[in-house]
A and B are shown apart, each in its own frame.
Chain A
């Protein structure tokens, strides 16, 4: 798949350690209910979502996050995406510590290097499939003709070449998730995070979506959070979580 020319895009700074991992979490703890600042209040009104979690994801690998509801899977994905700053610890994306960046810088990093696939798709209902896929490219400053061309190519790759002008309301659940996957790939990101990508789909459709996710991974680092064994079957490694802690890190 042709990718975007990376010149001009935000390039994360390299650290002294020259880590090869695309994603690295070091002793990450996050408490909900405390301020989003980097201290733990320890009071009983806070909910500890993550406790001293460390993990790394290499480029070209799929890592599954497994655990029951409330185990911290989504919190890890949000931290990797830059959607939240953990209470303590560091989150490195391509060598850049996201916890040290401003909100605006994290948005920029996310736009250029992270693709997100939600359980509930979260497509904009008033935009066509093509416009939804092209959405991240608008902020990236890509010209309109190139946005359209790229979006149509991606939709072709996910098997929706004949659905480009359909609104999300006119697509099935599986088709909507395919559009969401195409959207996550529009800026040619280095990392893809998928939170329960088959949660809203039937078994057969879910399997198609997983196959698609696997085929389009290429040299990207992919994190998939799920409590479903079938979904995690595509993972090269699976990290088991319970109560915010890593209890097992086995393939």
Chain B
């Protein structure tokens, strides 16, 4: 029985570690590192677009609705967030390119950067791991939806972005590439955040700009589009305000990882699903084998039970219950092992090759582990039952 319990515990531990890695994969993103109390994200899979899946689903009228959320009692601030990856090039790099005749896409002052458009306020907030304090409060260019207000041109770079662009405060960069007529729009570095950016994607260069200025560049101004809306304030008020503004969207509160994101990420979902199937199969095989051995060694006990008047179904119930109890006990140990495993994987990965969180833990892992153990036990139990049913009383206790 100890062997069965240990086998289940080991399998569950490994399953939880793999699932934790898959969950970290699924929830990793440029803008996940924020101190917002609630986040509104569009619900996946409900668009009717024929080209659904080509572009991610976005939130519309984001600027207007965020303003409405800000007016709610209990809400400190709300900001739509739009992320666009653009190529920035030093605004004074034309001469050097012409002279050298080179067109190196990764030249010293050129590179891909994830621009994150936000609407900052007077308070210092964290978006995409960067502080909004470097940007002028408000969103002047938005001008109540006309987008013809005064443009600030400010950009706050993460450490990674500054290194890639070899940029310093005060330098100018322009957006290049096949975009709207506002190509060549220039930004001036208002600051370089000492933080590396999003903790989970520290290698991705990110930069903060004003939302309307990014919407203008990317063409998202037409519908005031944004990828999500962040809300700060009282927990209940922010969640309620966000839900009222976007009744058909998903409101996530600031309690860490959302397991449902596993289903939105194909790779992560496939990883965790395969881990589940393999885990159940291995667990069931272990339990069936070890419980079968245990029952075989306990044939005499079963024979005695029959001799003193226990019918077959009662004896088999003893075996069945023992098997299920073993798997559930293994689940308990497996949960402990899984949590420790996740922490160990993260620690080792962080100390060696990883620059971000590679595995996460979620409270749902507990019922998940028990469910897997139960299913494994049910799959495994027929074998020890068959072994028990074939016990011969006369052979075991004939004298």
Residues of A within 8 A of B (CB): 74, 78, 81, 83-84, 103-104, 107-108, 110-112, 116, 118-120, 122-124, 135-136, 138-140, 183, 187, 195-196, 199
Contacts and interface: CB of A to CB of B under 8 A. Distances in A.
Closest CB pairs A-B (n = 4): A111-B309, A136-B308, A107-B311, A119-B399
Contacts of A118: 307, 397, 399
Contacts, number: 57
A136 B312 CA distance: 14
A139 B312 contact: no
A196 B399 contact: yes
Contacts of B307: 81, 83, 110, 116, 118, 122
B394 A78 contact: yes
B300 interface: yes
B393 interface: yes
Given A103-B312, A107-B306, A139-B311, A83 B399 contact: no
B388 to A, nearest CB: 15
B304 A122 contact: yes
Contacts of B399: 74, 118-120, 195-196, 199
B263 interface: no
B309 to A, nearest CB: 2
Contacts of B304: 122-124
Interface in B96-137: none
A40 B399 CA distance: 25
Contacts of A81: 307
Contact of B311 (A78, A104, A112): A104
Contacts of B314: 139
Interface of B: 300-301, 303-312, 314, 393-394, 397-399
B185 to A, nearest CB: 80
Contact of A135 (B300, B308, B311): B308
Contact of A83 (B300, B312, B393): B393
Nearest to B303: A122
A173 to B, nearest CB: 15
Contacts of B398: 74, 78
A235 B314 CA distance: 36
A123 B305 CA distance: 10
Contacts of A136: 308-309
Contacts of A116: 307-308
B172 to A, nearest CB: 82
Given A74-B399, A139-B314, A195-B399, A83 B309 contact: no
A83 B398 CA distance: 9
A74 B312 CA distance: 23
A156 B300 CA distance: 27
A122 B307 CA distance: 10
Nearest to A112: B309
B311 A108 contact: yes
Given A122-B300, A122-B304, A84 B312 contact: no
15 contacts: A74-B398, A78-B394, A84-B394, A107-B309, A107-B312, A108-B309, A120-B397, A122-B304, A122-B307, A124-B301, A124-B304, A136-B309, A139-B311, A187-B309, A199-B399
Counting chain A CB atoms within 10 Å of each CB, the highest count among B393, B394, B399 belongs to B399
A103 B303 CA distance: 14
Contacts of A183: 308
B314 to A, nearest CB: 6
Contacts of A187: 309
Given A116-B307, A187-B309, 7 more contacts: A74-B398, A108-B311, A110-B309, A111-B309, A118-B397, A120-B399, A135-B305
Contacts of B303: 122
B398 to A, nearest CB: 6
Nearest to A32: B394
A104 B309 contact: no
Nearest to A225: B399
A74 B398 CA distance: 8
B312 A104 contact: yes
A233 B152 CA distance: 115
Nearest to B314: A139
Counting chain B CB atoms within 10 Å of each CB, the highest count among A103, A139, A199 belongs to A139
B140 to A, nearest CB: 80
Nearest to B301: A124
B341 to A, nearest CB: 34
Given A74-B399, A120-B399, A196-B399, A111 B394 contact: no
A118 B393 CA distance: 12
Nearest to B310: A139
A107 B312 CA distance: 9
Contacts of A124: 301, 304
A139 B397 contact: no
B307 to A, nearest CB: 6
A83 B311 contact: no
A83 B308 contact: no
Nearest to A73: B399
Contacts of B311: 104, 107-108, 139
A140 B310 CA distance: 9
A205 B162 CA distance: 94
A199 to B, nearest CB: 8
B313 to A, nearest CB: 8
